[in-house]
């Protein structure tokens, strides 16, 4: 160990995010105080973002195994078997805190990071989806964050050549301080060519390739992702990474060629905590040690200290392990793609992370202490006795047309101004694009297709974390059913406030319980995901927001269901165990109503049966359209079908609650009356004309479209 290595002490450890007890535990594990390099490594690997120390025990309760699961939690991404020797890899992650500080780069690098998770296991990225949350659009800050985050997503995805095929965006007051930027990516891989991250082989070489290393992103995992935001957010901008999608494109091709030629033992991307996390996690998975010489790391800034090199979160970098006799071939492929491959270390049998500078040891940490021995905390949940969230500001005035107000409300209006900034067709796999169906549909190389959707409902989860999370999973599965797809696996991003507070711990505990129960009811496994905590500021926590992404399969992507009414004279049916209620609905929000005390029980078995009925009817070609009932209720769903198809409809007026109430399990279908009745659907109207009529009221399609275009002014 270098005699010049400094010993920072407990105060510096606390400043870096460790508690005093955690620092004492670090000293116990090392049998001495850590030096500057070692403390930096521990502060990041033991951060909430990397260690999941307040959520890992809960996550262990989720179902993670199934007949179609190829890779589950613990790898860079999960993967499911889709037949023909192919697997689909997918994962969702957050970049919330960076995006609240610097929305363009925060959102852009969120896309870049989730893409690297996909090709790190040997899958070619084929699609991106995003799930976004902002404060109300009448806030200047929220409009700024929305505009720049959407621009960042479009910039990165479009430039790297991966289509953004779907997503969601919601506007609620509790996200004003802390926006949510969750990105999901999918990739395709030959199952037998996929690779895991575990390092192996004494003497094998550790190679870094991709962009050079700089000071951008230093401390991102601890400075941003594991702490609440405050009025000093501006000072945290240096902790936000800067992305280069064109470098990422080269990285994709280089990584896939290296794997196709079977030149690598293992592969890992550099995300949060940079070299520290990637190298130590590879060593932990392989039960080996790794030596890294920071003097060999290509730098773009002079005079970087060893600790800076080890924790830099500079983007577009990968770490791989190769046998010594294959190193020249690996470096030749890196040179071909101009990604600067460099041998920076080797695999040892020491079970230690040893950090060198020109051969001199500047840090030495047992892998087990760094990766596996972070303390895990038991939550102390307590249901709050008082409401956590204020009632929203009323925006619906007496005499306003309820349907038009709902169609123009921020959470229902057309997202076209957003998704038109994204290329949804590049790659030529997209069979159903945004606003054509409830889920995106992509073609597979061997025939057949997959559908993918991402969903979450913070307001309803805030009312009842258990039932609200079940509803979110069922909503996502309903979207797949409308295309004819059967779910294969789930990924999630759990966005919550400070888990050290009893009421937030209660939200998180109940939500994870609901997530597990919903997955078991659907017969699917959780193959991976992300947890983002401490999402709160001076005004309080965000709505608890479990975002779920589902991937399903269907036999023919070109025959996938659509939401548009498409035939004059078709009957309109309502199917499912749908029991609409106005409480916690979009209409209740427009009226400024406070959140209710609870949500009603969900007959999950009946809802899953309705999913199966819709799925089989779509596959059999017995339906002209299928659309699930979500925000705004039945009348809004029918209006969306009218607008998508350019056809009007005549509908029964069953009263305000039936028309605008919300809840799980409802589907608006169109087709032959006999087919709808055979499914058990209740016929509620008929397709036809150039207006939507409901009882005594009527709206032209132009009126509906003008209301539905309310978001357009936000994107001049």
Reported as a single tens digit per residue, the pLDDT across 477-498 is 999 999 999 999 999 999 999 9
Residue 580 located in a structural domain:
no
Residue 624 tokens, joined: 């002209």
In a domain, 256, yes or no: yes
Contact by Cβ (8 Å): 520, 605: no
Of 225, 90, 121, nearest to 496 (Cα)?
225
Q: What's the DSSP call for residue 191? A: G
- Return d(Cα 282, Cα 200) in angstroms, integer: 9
The residue ranges of DSSP E strands in 333-389, in sequence order, are 342-348, 352-357, 360-366
pLDDT at 437 > cutoff 90: yes
* Residue whose token pair is 């040690």: 289
Q: Could you read off the pLDDT of 96-136 as tens digits, one per residue?
A: 998 998 999 999 999 999 999 999 999 999 999 999 999 99
Q: For residue 3, what pLDDT band results from cuts at 50, 70 and 90?
A: very low
The answer to whether residue 542 is domain-embedded is: no
* pLDDT over threshold 60, residue 391: yes
* pLDDT exceeds 90 at position 409: yes
Residue count of the chain: 716
Separation between Cα atoms, residue 165 and residue 614, nearest integer Å: 23
Q: What is the mean pLDDT of residues 228-244?
A: 54
Sign (positive or negative) of CA dihedral 230, 586, 691, 435: positive
How many angstroms separate the CA atoms of 630 and 236, rounded?
A: 38
Q: At what angle do helices 502-522 and 604-619 cross, to 10 degrees?
A: 50
- Helix (H) / strand (E) element for 489: namely strand 486-495
> Is it the case that residue 600 has pLDDT exceeding 60?
yes
Domain count, the chain: 1
Q: What is the pTM of this model?
A: 0.94
The Cα–Cα gap between 565 and 382 comes to 47
Confidence of residue 715 (pLDDT cuts 50, 70, 90): low
Q: Does residue 351 fall inside a structural domain?
A: yes
Residue written as token pair 């295309």: 483
Q: How far apart are the first and last CA of the chain?
A: 59
Token pair of 56, please? 């890992």
Asked if residue 555 has pLDDT above 80, the reply is yes
- Greater confidence (220 vs 567) lies with 567
Whether residue 280 lies inside any domain: the answer is: yes
The confidence score (pLDDT) of residue 427 equals 75
Do the beta carbons of residue 521 and residue 608 sit within 8 Å?
Answer: yes
DSSP 3-state of 277 = helix
Selection from 139, 155, 44, 138 nearest residue 103 by Cα:
155
Nearest to 334 by CA among 212, 251, 213: 251
Q: What is the domain range of residue 200?
A: 196-374
For the stretch 289-311, pLDDT in tens is: 999 999 999 998 888 999 999 99
Is 209 part of a structural domain of the chain?
yes
Catalytic residue IDs: 49, 95
Q: What is the reported pLDDT for 225?
A: 44
Mean pLDDT for the chain? 92
Strands 667-671 and 86-94: unpaired
Q: Is the pLDDT of residue 645 over 70?
A: yes
CATH code, 273 = 3.90.650.10
Residue 273 lies in a domain: yes
**Contact (Cβ atoms closer than 8 angstroms) between residue 651 and residue 670:** no
Percent of the chain with pLDDT over 70: 96
Q: Is the pLDDT of residue 235 over 60?
A: no
Closest CA relative to residue 636, chosen from 590, 592, 672, 605: 590
């Amino acid at each position: 160990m270098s005699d010049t290595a400094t010993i920072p002490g407990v105060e510096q450890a606390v400043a870096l995010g460790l508690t005093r007890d955690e620092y004492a535990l670090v000293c116990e594990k090392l049998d001495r105080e850590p030096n500057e390099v070692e403390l930096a490594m521990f502060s990041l690997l033991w951060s909430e973002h990397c260690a999941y120390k307040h959520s890992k025990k809960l996550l262990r309760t989720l179902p993670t195994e199934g007949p179609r699961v190829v890779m589950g939690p613990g790898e860079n991404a999960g993967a499911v078997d889709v037949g023909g020797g192919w697997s689909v890899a997918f994962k969702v992650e957050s970049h919330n805190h960076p995006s609240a500080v610097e929305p363009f780069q925060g959102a852009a690098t969120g896309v870049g990071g989730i893409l690297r998770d996909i090709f790190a296991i040997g899958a070619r990225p084929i699609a991106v989806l995003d799930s976004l949350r902002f404060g109300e659009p009448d806030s200047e800050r929220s409009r700024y964050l929305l505009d720049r985050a959407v621009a960042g997503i479009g910039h990165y995805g479009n430039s790297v050549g991966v289509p953004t095929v779907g997503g969601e965006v919601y506007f609620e007051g509790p996200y004003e301080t802390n926006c949510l930027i969750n990105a999901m990516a999918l990739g395709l891989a030959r199952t037998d060519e996929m690779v895991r991250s575990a390092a192996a082989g004494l003497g094998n070489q550790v190679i870094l390739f991709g962009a050079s290393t700089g000071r951008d992103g230093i401390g991102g995992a601890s400075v941003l992702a594991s702490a609440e935001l405050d009025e000093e957010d501006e000072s945290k901008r240096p902790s936000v990474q800067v992305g280069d999608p064109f470098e990422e494109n080269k990285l994709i091709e280089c990584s896939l060629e290296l794997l196709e030629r079977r030149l690598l033992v293992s592969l890992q991307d550099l995300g949060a905590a940079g070299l520290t996390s990637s190298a130590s996690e590879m060593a932990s998975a392989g039960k080996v040690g790794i030596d890294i010489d920071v003097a060999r790391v290509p730098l773009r800034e002079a005079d970087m200290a060893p600790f800076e090199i080890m924790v830099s979160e500079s983007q577009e970098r990968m770490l791989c392990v190769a046998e010594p006799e294959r190193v020249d071939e690996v470096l030749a492929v890196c040179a071909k793609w101009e990604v600067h491959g460099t041998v920076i270390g080797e695999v040892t049998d020491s079970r230690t992370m040893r950090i060198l500078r020109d051969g001199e040891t500047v840090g030495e940490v047992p892998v087990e202490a760094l990766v596996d021995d972070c303390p895990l905390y038991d939550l102390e949940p307590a249901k709050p006795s008082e409401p956590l969230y204020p009632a929203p500001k009323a925006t619906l005035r007496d005499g306003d047309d309820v349907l038009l107000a709902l169609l123009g409300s921020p959470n229902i209006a057309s997202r076209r101004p957003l998704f038109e900034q994204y290329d949804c067709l590049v790659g030529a796999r997209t069979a159903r694009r945004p606003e054509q169906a409830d889920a995106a549909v992509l073609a597979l190389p061997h025939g057949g297709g997959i559908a993918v959707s991402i969903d979450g409902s913070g307001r309803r989860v805030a009312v009842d974390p258990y039932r609200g999370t079940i509803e979110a999973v069922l909503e996502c599965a309903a979207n797949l059913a409308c295309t004819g797809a059967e779910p294969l696996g789930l990924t999630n991003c759990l966005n919550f406030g400070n888990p050290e507070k009893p009421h937030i711990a209660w939200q998180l505990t109940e939500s994870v319980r609901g997530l597990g129960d919903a997955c078991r009811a659907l017969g699917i496994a959780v193959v991976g995901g992300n947890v983002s905590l401490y999402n709160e500021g001076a005004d309080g926590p965000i709505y608890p927001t479990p975002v779920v992404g589902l991937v399903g399969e269907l036999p023919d992507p070109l025959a996938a269901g659509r939401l548009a009414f498409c035939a004059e004279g078709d009957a309109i049916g309502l199917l499912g165990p749908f029991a609409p209620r106005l409480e916690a609905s979009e209409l209740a929000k427009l009226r400024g109503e406070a959140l209710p005390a609870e949500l009603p029980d969900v007959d999950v078995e009946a809802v899953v049966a309705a999913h199966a009925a819709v799925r089989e009817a779509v596959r059999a070609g017995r339906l002209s359209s299928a659309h699930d009932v979500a925000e705004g209720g039945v009348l809004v769903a029918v209006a969306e079908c009218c607008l998508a198809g350019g056809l009007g409809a005549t509908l029964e007026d069953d009263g305000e609650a039936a028309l605008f109430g919300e809840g799980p399990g409802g589907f608006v279908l169109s087709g032959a009356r006999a087919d709808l009745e055979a499914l058990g659907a209740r016929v509620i109207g008929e397709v036809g004309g150039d207006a939507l009529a409901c009882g005594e009221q009527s709206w032209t399609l132009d009126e509906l479209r003008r209301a539905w275009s309310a978001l357009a002014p936000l994107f001049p």
